[in-house]
Structure 1
Amino acid sequence: MTDTVLDRLLRYVVIDTQSDPASQSQPSTEKQKHLGHVLVAELLALGLTDAHMDEHGNIYATLPANTDKTVPVICFCSHMDTAPDFTGAGVKPNLVTNYQGGDIQLAGDTSRIIRVSEHPDLKQQIGHDIVTTDGTTLLGADDKAGIAEIITAVAFLIANPGIRHGAIRILFTTDEEIGRGADKVDIQKLGAAFAYTMDGGRIGEIDDETFSADGVEIDILGVAQHPGTSKGVMENAIKIAGDIIARLPKDLSPETTDGRQGFIHPTDVTGSMDRANLKFIIRDFDTEGLAGKQALLRSIADQAMTAYPGSSMRFTATEQYRNMKQVLDQHPEIMANLTEAVRRVGLEPVTNAIRGGTDGSRLSFMGLPCPNIYTGGHSYHSPLEWISVQDMEKSVETIVELVKVWEERA
């Protein structure tokens, strides 16, 4: 197979793989397996004879070692699903060849424009070929670019057997966008010592730290009464939910925080006069800060409920993931080899803390330390999503150099 990384990306993004947070199954949508079947066929065609998809939609494959050295088995991981934030059906990718600057107006919805003033990274893309959507869907480069880059790098290694490397495991997951990407991964079957997710953004930026994350659900039972005879009796659950939301500190919301600041963020509210349900996500880089924000939210809810003596509340907190840096700091060689590979492809590595999470967050605490590598994508979860072909090629080069570094230093 002689496909380029662009060929693969264009083939993958037209397959709708949007995940569904309301579903209790895994994968949350069967259509994620449609891409999975395509990927297994391609990996088998490349000669990865153990490539297969399990019942949860996860894909496993192995590129065997071709060196006599004892090299740690490393894994490269990306996710197949796209975010529920915006539709991923009917994707019509557009290629802007030899970009020469200026805003990019999208053909399917001309009101949507990728403006240089809002996307300053475009200034670094002069002469590049840029893939966009038509403005009516996500592109899905998050994370189909990562998949395309991993498979392209594997194809390159197979075509160039003189490049020595240890065994390389490939893992493509489902449902990462709804926080379940690692739930059904079989770490023992994977058999890797370390891993790298290809799920980042701007080239040169590598991520060894994520938020720690909890989810909170508040169920409110109000007091229902006919509105004509409700004086002194009714306690409207919708209004109680609104009271809790109104009390949230404005300086602890996603829209007012950045850098290493955490937040409390309501993500869903449903209700009727007698019952209401609120869902929140809580984020902080430190576990202590996370616990403090959870305690604050509980205090806010408790205070709000004092005005409604006939009503009751159930507060349920769930651990989602933890900051992977706690694990990665115990294995400094993982980042040291990565930064060396980034320099070898002509980039200056910039270490980032992600204001979010990746499969690597969960995998790290499941016993598979796993930082995150750039794919070249921008404006994920948006119809303004775009990616440079040349940046994708740089990501492919980084994978190749990384496996070389691991072999050389073994």
Structure 2
Amino acid sequence: MEDYQFTAVDRFLRYVQIDTQSDPQSTANPSTEKQKDLSRVLVQELLDMGIADAELDEWGYVYATIPANTGKANVPTICFCSHVDTSPDVTGAGVKPIIHQQWNGVDILLPDDSSQVIRVADHPDLTNQVGNDIITASGTTLLGADNKAGLAEIMDATHYLLTHPDVKHGQIRLLFTPDEEVGRGTEKVDIQKLSADFAYTIDGEALGTLEDETFSADAVKITIQGVSTHPGFAKGKLENALKIAADLLAALPKNALSPETTAEKEGFVHPTRMEGNQDQAILEFIIRDFTEVGLQEKETYLQNQLNDILTNYPGSSAQFVVKEQYRNMKDVLDQHPSIVENAFEAIRRAGLSAKRRSIRGGTDGSRLSFMGLPCPNIFAGEHAFHSRQEWVSVQDMKKAVAVIVNIAQVWEERS
């Protein structure tokens, strides 16, 4: 691909300027209609490339097919997947992408907010980027590299394959999903319609990495029913639901079991939302661990803490509801070793050292794997997700495009 004029960066710069933030409080599908603004752009670009079946369905999913061009009949159908939405944590409206060309290794000051400085000391992966071109936002928004870098890379790889028929490959399916950031990215995927054998999400971080293991994840919703009465006549009667909720939060350990105090294979209990009044309060948590046993232990711990606190409030009660979100995809992928082996070969062919990692989070691939579509995660070059200091390297994006093309080739060759 040395002489190829990559299109990924140009696409990316356009995509990030379309606000696609999802909303965890919405019950609609997709959670925000504005996600479809980008999906419609993707469909039109695919149609313009000559992909006749590119479509956007009512739920906000984009499906498309790159037809096979090999004479082999037994090549599996591979799917490449990325998500259109950006995190609810930081605004994605009015993104102003900036390319810091031939970055010289110094801290990057974002111009629209002087307090936002991408410091090399805080972003160790930047040490490998000296001389490269770094794309950031301007300081008041996230960038949207998570996951618009992946979208742009898949679209560029599609363009390459369609314009280079000498590169042999089987049928390839494309899937662009909404609402990944709110845990609903696969909720309305039509697996039968997708009709793929294996898949890869392009939604990872550092150059050359493949992730085949994720957290297992549950959500916990605690509804606390207190005893309400007029505060002027409350002595010996009032049991304030907000105070009960606050007691539970205060009982969580300060130096363990939280996202800010854990790393590597350690899980956590993380409060994400609190609302209510003296009569009733709601607490929402996400629970994470790499094993289901660890997940259950953390949920039992939280339930026991709640029960202990309620002994001080004899008139109050609480409902503790656990909802499964996703499970560690490694349990599925270990049954299909060729998926990872072929991706490693594709990464090496791009001139990179292949590195296996675990994700302290989840991807659409987690749920797709348990829906019958085994799906590890490939790097897209995204860094500092969900923050105003998000960045991606132009050179890393080009390598990701090459890896996607190589994956298609490797599957054809080895079938």
Question: What is aligned with 2:58?
Answer: 55
TM-align CA RMSD: 1.0
Of 354, 374, 379, 1:349 maps to 354
SS at match of 1:252: coil
Of 229, 232, 247, 2:236 maps to 232
**Distance in 2 between the 1:259 and 1:138 partners?**
25
| Identical aligned residues as a percent | 60
Question: What is aligned with 1:33?
Answer: 36
Question: What is aligned with 1:166?
Answer: 170
**Distance in 1 between the 2:176 and 2:408 partners?**
18
The answer to whether the Cα contact below 8 Å between 2:211 and 2:356 also exists between their aligned partners in 1 is yes
Question: What is aligned with 1:119?
Answer: 123
Question: What is aligned with 1:254?
Answer: 259
**Distance in 1 between the 2:233 and 2:143 partners?**
53
Q: Which runs of 5+ in 1 are unaligned?
A: none
SS at match of 2:271: strand
**Distance in 2 between the 1:157 and 1:371 partners?**
22
Of 140, 146, 155, 1:142 maps to 146
Question: What is aligned with 1:212?
Answer: 216
Question: What is aligned with 1:16?
Answer: 19
* Structure 1 residue 387 corresponds to structure 2 residue 386: no
**Distance in 1 between the 2:134 and 2:353 partners?**
22
**Distance in 2 between the 1:364 and 1:301 partners?**
34
Question: What is aligned with 2:270?
Answer: 265
Task: Give 1:282-321 correspondences, 5 Å limit.
Answer: 282-321=287-326
* Structure 1 residue 331 corresponds to structure 2 residue 336: yes
**Distance in 2 between the 1:23 and 1:32 partners?**
13
- CA apart distance, 1:316: 0.5
Q: 1:38 to 1:2 in 2, by over 3 A?
A: farther
**Distance in 2 between the 1:126 and 1:152 partners?**
25
- CA apart distance, 1:249: 2.7
Question: What is aligned with 1:375?
Answer: 380
Question: What is aligned with 1:397?
Answer: 402
Over residues 164-188 of structure 1, what are the superposed CA-to-partner deviations in whole Å (9 max), with x where a residue is unaligned? 0000000000000000000000000
- CA apart distance, 1:228: 2.0
Question: What is aligned with 1:192?
Answer: 196
**Distance in 2 between the 1:263 and 1:165 partners?**
42
Over residues 251-292 of structure 1, what are the superposed CA-to-partner deviations in whole Å (9 max), with x where a residue is unaligned? 111111101000111111112111100000000000111111
The answer to whether the Cα contact below 8 Å between 2:221 and 2:321 also exists between their aligned partners in 1 is yes
- CA apart distance, 1:38: 0.4
- CA apart distance, 1:73: 0.1
The answer to whether the Cα contact below 8 Å between 2:287 and 2:299 also exists between their aligned partners in 1 is yes
SS at match of 1:265: strand
Worse-matched range after superposition: 223-232 or 272-281: 223-232
Worse-matched range after superposition: 126-135 or 224-233: 224-233
Q: How many residues align?
A: 410
**Distance in 2 between the 1:148 and 1:235 partners?**
54
Q: Which runs of 5+ in 2 are unaligned?
A: none
SS at match of 1:199: strand
SS at match of 1:316: strand
- CA apart distance, 1:224: 1.1
**Distance in 2 between the 1:127 and 1:379 partners?**
20
SS at match of 2:235: coil
Amino acid of the structure 1 residue aligned with 2:193: K
> What TM-score, normalized to structure 2?
0.98
Amino acid of the structure 1 residue aligned with 2:117: I
**Distance in 2 between the 1:355 and 1:87 partners?**
23
Amino acid of the structure 2 residue aligned with 1:58: Y
Question: What is aligned with 2:132?
Answer: 128
> What TM-score, normalized to structure 1?
0.99
Q: 1:2 to 1:34 in 2, by over 3 A?
A: farther
Of 220, 223, 228, 2:227 maps to 223
- CA apart distance, 1:401: 0.8
- CA apart distance, 1:189: 0.2
Of 178, 182, 187, 1:183 maps to 187
The answer to whether the Cα contact below 8 Å between 2:149 and 2:380 also exists between their aligned partners in 1 is yes
**Distance in 2 between the 1:213 and 1:378 partners?**
22
SS at match of 1:378: coil
**Distance in 2 between the 1:72 and 1:40 partners?**
24
Question: What is aligned with 1:100?
Answer: 104
Of 358, 361, 364, 2:366 maps to 361
**Distance in 1 between the 2:287 and 2:120 partners?**
32
**Distance in 1 between the 2:7 and 2:67 partners?**
22
- CA apart distance, 1:190: 0.3
**Distance in 1 between the 2:259 and 2:286 partners?**
10
Amino acid of the structure 1 residue aligned with 2:99: L
- CA apart distance, 1:2: 6.8
**Distance in 2 between the 1:297 and 1:201 partners?**
32
**Distance in 1 between the 2:224 and 2:127 partners?**
50
**Distance in 1 between the 2:175 and 2:159 partners?**
16
Over residues 352-372 of structure 1, what are the superposed CA-to-partner deviations in whole Å (9 max), with x where a residue is unaligned? 110000000000000000000
Spell out structure 1 runs of 4+ moving beyond 3 A.
none
Of 229, 232, 247, 1:243 maps to 247
* Structure 1 residue 44 corresponds to structure 2 residue 47: yes
